[in-house]
Structure 1
Amino acid sequence: MPAFSDPSDHQAADQALLQPPLQNDSSAPSQPPLRLGVMASGNGSNFEALATAIEAGTLHAELVLLIVNNPGCGAVARAERLQIPHKVVDHRRWTIREELDQELVRTFQAASVDAVVMAGWMRIVTPVLIHAFADRLLNIHPSLLPSFRGLDAIGQALKAGVCISGCTVHLVSEELDAGPILAQAAVPVLDTDDHASLAERIHRQEHRLLPHAVQLAASRWTQG
């Protein structure tokens, strides 16, 4: 699977894990832009990373709609600044997860999205959403899966004492953080790291990795 290294620290430690980086699909411009829906719960930095890659021409896509579940979260401010349509679907209004996901499906389908990216969506999704966007629902997770699935993957890595961590973009399956892996990036875990410093290093790689993984997936869908 394609992977990126962390160029900022301990490059030699990364190299053993790496394969060649993703290349942009040269046929992409002949295809219409991928219509992307994005789901976010917090700051929205990965959402903006997608927008930045689109603006730079390295991701052949259009951000059609951002859905957030937390009113007033940072992702909303980014969407407003970038003039990208957004909607709040507050999970607190639904007591049944499947009903929340039905609303997500209705909203994304009304926007005619081709694929959905979970860019920091802090809710477990159900088969309702997964099957509606079968093989077109992507998630980014802050660990080198299959290690450290679930909540607080960064804390899990620190507790385990590993010397390498990273991030993974994968297709979403019914088993949590267990879908097919599209791409990964490795970063060193330093002796001086705490949760904040390791998270910052991983986030830098997420911002590089996610747009490339989406472009890779899009090229596969086009070829398929």
Structure 2
Amino acid sequence: MKRMAIFASGTGSNFQAIVDAVQKGSLQATIALLICDKPEAPVVEKAKRANIPVFTFKPKEFASKAVFESLICKQLQDAKVDFIVLAGYMRLIGPTLLQAYPNKIINLHPSLLPAFPGKEAIKQAFQAGVKITGITIHYVDEGMDTGPIIAQEAVAIHDDDTLFDVERKIHQVEHIFYPQTLQKLCLTEYEEEFT
């Protein structure tokens, strides 16, 4: 069974959806570790309730991204992590982690990439007046939301939808589609196919 680490920075709704899928057996993987760059984030409490080991850090306490990513790599190696799942982790991944886990870092982005990369993607799509947005699951590279796309799922925006409505719809799709896609990746028999 593949061992994943989840990186998150906030409330952890996607983290919880992944935990729930593992507990139900619809995602056959082990969540070996939560990595969080905000020790006070609600996701930390969710991990503790699920008996998932937690590693928190404050980036400002380190001289550089390379320094704290080296520390994270040590945690990942100690936990025998096979791949990394980003679930609302609000930092760009640097070269240290990218080199340690090539094609093994997966991100969920709340738009149909390449449209609306970066922060506040749902708000960007809503303000642009598009009729269809969605979510993208992709491998992480050195760019911002530029890595190879694994899967996408569309979400319609109706004329009477508020920004809150669109956010709610996106999150509902994320909570189903992200664990399903991770399960497909975990079922891959050979490492070559996983990349």
| TM-score greater than 0.5 by the shorter chain | yes
- Distance change in 2, residues 1:212/1:135 (3 Å): same
C-alpha distance in 1 between matches for 2:31 and 2:107: 16
C-alpha distance in 1 between matches for 2:40 and 2:55: 11
Corresponding residue for 2:144? 176
Corresponding residue for 1:62? 30
Counterpart of 1:204, as a letter, is Q
C-alpha distance in 1 between matches for 2:170 and 2:5: 23
1:106 and 2:74 are equivalent in the alignment: yes
- Distance change in 2, residues 1:159/1:95 (3 Å): farther
Structure 2 unmatched ranges of 5 or more? none
C-alpha distance in 2 between matches for 1:93 and 1:48: 28
Alignment map for 1:149-160 (pairs within 5 Å):
149-160=117-128
Counterpart of 2:141, as a letter, is S
C-alpha distance in 2 between matches for 1:38 and 1:153: 21
Corresponding residue for 2:175? 207
C-alpha distance in 1 between matches for 2:53 and 2:72: 15
Alignment map for 1:119-138 (pairs within 5 Å):
119-138=87-106
C-alpha distance in 1 between matches for 2:3 and 2:175: 19
| Count of residues in Structure 1 that have an aligned counterpart in Structure 2 | 192
- TM-score under structure 2 length normalisation: 0.93
C-alpha distance in 2 between matches for 1:74 and 1:207: 17
1:161 and 2:125 are equivalent in the alignment: no
What's the C-alpha RMSD, in Å, of the aligned pairs? Answer: 1.4
Corresponding residue for 1:218? 186
After superposition, give the CA deviation of every residue in 1:37-91 in whole Å (9 maximum; x if it has no partner): 0100001111111111111111110111001111121101111211111121222
C-alpha distance in 1 between matches for 2:112 and 2:37: 26
More deviation, 94-103/38-47? 94-103
C-alpha distance in 2 between matches for 1:190 and 1:91: 40
Higher relative contact order (CA 8 A, sep 6+): 1
Instruction: Quote how far apart the aligned CAs of 1:97 are.
Output: 1.9
